[in-house]
Structure 1
Amino acid sequence: MTGPEISAPVTLAEIIAVLDAAYPPALAESWDSVGLVCGDPGETVSSVLIGVDPTAGVVDEAIGAGAQLLIAHHPLLLRGVDTVGAHTPKGALVHKLIRAQCALFTAHTNADSADPGVSDALAGALGLTALRPIAPKPQAPVDKWAVLVPTASADAVRQAMFAAGAGQIETYDQCSWSVPGTGQFRPLDGANPALGQVGELETVAEERIELLAPRGLREQVLAALRAAHPYEVPAFDALEVAELASALGLGRVGELPAPMTLAEFTAHVGRALPATEWGVRAAGDPDRVIRTVAVCGGSGDSYLGAVTRLGVDAYVTADLRHHPADEHLRAGGPALVDVAHWASEQPWCAQARDILRAAFGDRITVAVAQTRTDPWTVAHH
């Protein structure tokens, strides 16, 4: 008779691997700082807290809950510092976390551009469907290879290129296409032909093999092709494929289940997001009918032109300023709905929580921080 199965402990490194898969660091903007801020990847983690901001209150909440990992959206050390001494505000938090054996990890603009990411969580809170990015990132650059090879050697060349990393399309590998044909060539003086004789025209039954490969593997794929091909001088094409838009990128555009006026939609946004002193305010005709909506978690006024070109009815984001908003409306852009920065990104915490729960089940506990980190505390209307 066997006893109950004991779950293996989860290391910080395992959690980071899951987070990096969901929010790839390569998606982060060049100016950003993401990843592990403090903590030992080899240590075990049984409790995680997720929040938007690594403020003193959230750090205290994590430590009070016994968490060994705090995941934040906003970086603690975004701009360069020359000290994390405990006499500085940020250094004091780093020291407090280390003393409590609580790691700090950040997923910022990589979580903004991921699929799903921060704006997907905001769009989901508002009930939007048929989502696509406002500013899509291009798909990973690839080359298309077309290789002419004698039929008898076609599979060997194909397998060698597969081994070098070619032939994978999303969740499929060993992808290729081929067609038979007839090749011809005449070896000249100095040639050392695998087939035929110098000075004589040769015809050979060949296959044209086509497959895709990441552009970053170009040298490896070429080396594999040359090593496996029987000809002294293989014939091939290597073409750069156009970089098409992907599902990754900042912001999202979606559709409401049913149209509503701007006044009704503004109230809907207020009910959907956590309450703040900032509240929810809209700019535009209150009776304007809203069907398609663009959203961008965090500060999104840099996309005012983009959402105008997309022709949406309303744009939901944070930190909108007087003059850009006024000029946007004068130019005939969509209605604007301005929410608190923290409120626009807070739905992401539940998304990250669910990713970790799906990966680790009951091996760890994962909670969303209850501390409100919106800095505005007083409002008067």
Structure 2
Amino acid sequence: MAASVRSANVSGAADGAQETAPAGGPVTLGAVIDVLDRAYPPSLAQSWDSVGLVCGDPDEPVESVLVCVDATAAVVDEAVRSGAQLIIAHHPLLLRGVDTVGAHTPKGALVHRLIRSGCALFTTHTNADSADPGVSDALADALGLTVTGPLDPLPSPALDKWAVMVPAADAHRVRAAMFGSGAGRIGDYDSCSWSVEGDGQFRPLAGADPAIGSVGALEHVRELRVEMVAERAVRAAVLAALHTSHPYEEPAYDLIELAPRPTARGLGRIGELAREQSLEQFTEHVAQALPATSWGVRAAGDPARRVRRVAVCGGAGDSLLAAAAASGVDAYVTADLRHHPADEHLRAGGPALVDVAHWASEFPWCAQVGGVLEGAFGDRLAVTVADVRTDPWTVSAGASHGD
């Protein structure tokens, strides 16, 4: 079973992805990957993660896509039956190091079947967790939350501020060289700089080879102070461009390391409900909003506690318990909570906890991916969400609300 995707709350991601989509003709796997990488940048993935293309040819055309949380045998069966040329999964199939994908192994057998069936496999995992919007935005949207920001925001890329003193007649050449090396980029803008005119003074000493003036003579030159920012990662390239393009033997410049700023990217989200509820009511609301699982939905805390401000984290989120407590929310919704961390969190006065199935917390993201692709390719690409419940827990018994 699979559900067609026609719309999703993907503010920002779909718009950005659309810029990289080809204007017409058949959609290739490579074009789909470009859109996904723009929506969920691989650079956001954790160092231990494995994201990207598992199998498939980027030059091959893609007409039908199946989106899922886990690429299980049942999902691959669905993809083969439906004729999908691509599976987009959240969880990596080959997360741990392997030395064989032989068909005699469970995961190797899936890879072989995908290749024989002409179906590619692409995963976007922790990069989708931290993207804006990402997995936790989809969870927050499913719960009806108005998101106000990330629970654990990522800092902006480390930035330098450059201030270069250059003769006015040469400023354009120096600017262009620094822009070409990666400086002057702010968000969706490039060639960004600011300048002010001033009086430059210097005296060339013995051994100097001045571009302006002569050795021993005090010089005054009409100069511009040209300022721009650049990511610290391109510092060496910017400095080389400055020296190459600047007319002076010894250019004068300031290099200032800027403090990092929080961004809208990061793990988890904080949001608000349209109206206050008791914890008991909110827990029922969560159960109704997410797909049913044998795990169910359970809460820790006073059932009568009032809940309005909520933190969420798709997937296993007990690493963010301290962040949830520090954020001042009334409740924290996540998956895979363990007894001792949850108990200690509550003893310390932290917010109520709502624990859901890992798969259920990430399933809303599948529709988000569908919205990203629909925004980029329209009806040129058929996108469906696998309706296979890949949660590993299949039986439950003896549920009790306690005393």
Shorter chain as denominator, the TM-score bin is: over 0.9
Q: What is the one-letter code of the residue matched to 2:329?
A: V
Q: What is the one-letter code of the residue matched to 2:207?
A: G
Instruction: Find 2:106's aligned residue among 69, 74, 89.
Output: 89
Counterpart contact for 2:54–2:120, Cα < 8 Å: yes
Q: What is the one-letter code of the residue matched to 2:280?
A: A
How far is 1:331 from its partner?
A: 0.6
Which range is displaced more, 64-73 or 145-154?
145-154
How far is 1:156 from its partner?
A: 2.1
| Equivalent residue number for residue 122 of structure 1 | 139
| Equivalent residue number for residue 3 of structure 2 | none
CA-to-partner distance for each residue in 1:328-371, whole Å, 9 max, x for gaps?
10110000000011000000000001101111111110000011
TM-score (norm 1): 0.96
Instruction: Find 1:235's aligned residue among 252, 273, 283.
Output: 252
Following the alignment from structure 2 to structure 1, what is the Cα–Cα distance between the partners of residues 101 and 178? 49
How far is 1:223 from its partner?
A: 1.8
Following the alignment from structure 1 to structure 2, what is the Cα–Cα distance between the partners of residues 191 and 378? 83
Following the alignment from structure 2 to structure 1, what is the Cα–Cα distance between the partners of residues 114 and 169? 63
Which range is displaced more, 323-332 or 125-134?
125-134
Deviating runs (4+, > 2 A) in structure 1?
none
| Equivalent residue number for residue 158 of structure 1 | 175
Q: In structure 1, the residue corresponding to 2:215 is in which secondary structure?
A: coil
The higher relative CO (CA closer than 8 Å, separation ≥ 6) is in 2
Residue 319 of structure 2 is aligned to residue 302 of structure 1: yes
Query: Pairwise mapping of residues 183-332 of structure 1 onto structure 2 (< 5 A)?
Result: 183-332=200-349
TM-score (norm 2): 0.91
Q: In structure 2, the residue corresponding to 1:44 is in which secondary structure?
A: coil
Following the alignment from structure 2 to structure 1, what is the Cα–Cα distance between the partners of residues 83 and 349? 52
Residue 371 of structure 2 is aligned to residue 354 of structure 1: yes
CA-to-partner distance for each residue in 1:265-313, whole Å, 9 max, x for gaps?
1111111111111111111011111111110101101111111111111
Q: What is the one-letter code of the residue matched to 2:387?
A: Q
Q: What is the one-letter code of the residue matched to 1:204?
A: V
Counterpart contact for 2:318–2:336, Cα < 8 Å: yes
Following the alignment from structure 2 to structure 1, what is the Cα–Cα distance between the partners of residues 151 and 275? 21
Residue 398 of structure 2 is aligned to residue 374 of structure 1: no
Following the alignment from structure 2 to structure 1, what is the Cα–Cα distance between the partners of residues 275 and 228? 44
Instruction: Find 1:140's aligned residue among 134, 157, 162.
Output: 157
Query: Pairwise mapping of residues 103-122 of structure 1 onto structure 2 (< 5 A)?
Result: 103-122=120-139
Q: What is the one-letter code of the residue matched to 1:328?
A: H
Counterpart contact for 2:267–2:313, Cα < 8 Å: yes
Identical residues among aligned pairs (%): 69
Following the alignment from structure 2 to structure 1, what is the Cα–Cα distance between the partners of residues 188 and 110? 42
CA-to-partner distance for each residue in 1:43-91, whole Å, 9 max, x for gaps?
1110000000011111101111100001100111111112111111111
Following the alignment from structure 1 to structure 2, what is the Cα–Cα distance between the partners of residues 81 and 183? 62
Following the alignment from structure 2 to structure 1, what is the Cα–Cα distance between the partners of residues 43 and 100? 27
Following the alignment from structure 2 to structure 1, what is the Cα–Cα distance between the partners of residues 163 and 196? 11
Counterpart contact for 2:147–2:269, Cα < 8 Å: no
Following the alignment from structure 2 to structure 1, what is the Cα–Cα distance between the partners of residues 73 and 82? 14
How far is 1:7 from its partner?
A: 5.2
Q: What is the one-letter code of the residue matched to 1:297?
A: G
Following the alignment from structure 1 to structure 2, what is the Cα–Cα distance between the partners of residues 339 and 253? 17
Following the alignment from structure 1 to structure 2, what is the Cα–Cα distance between the partners of residues 205 and 33? 54
How far is 1:165 from its partner?
A: 1.8
Unaligned runs of 5+ in 2: 1-22
Following the alignment from structure 1 to structure 2, what is the Cα–Cα distance between the partners of residues 166 and 82? 42
Q: Number of matched residues?
A: 376
Residue 89 of structure 2 is aligned to residue 100 of structure 1: no
Following the alignment from structure 1 to structure 2, what is the Cα–Cα distance between the partners of residues 89 and 57? 13
Unaligned runs of 5+ in 1: 1-5
| Equivalent residue number for residue 76 of structure 1 | 93
| Equivalent residue number for residue 18 of structure 2 | none
| Equivalent residue number for residue 16 of structure 2 | none
CA-to-partner distance for each residue in 1:175-213, whole Å, 9 max, x for gaps?
111111111111100111111221111111111111011
Q: CA RMSD in A?
A: 1.2
Counterpart contact for 2:161–2:230, Cα < 8 Å: yes
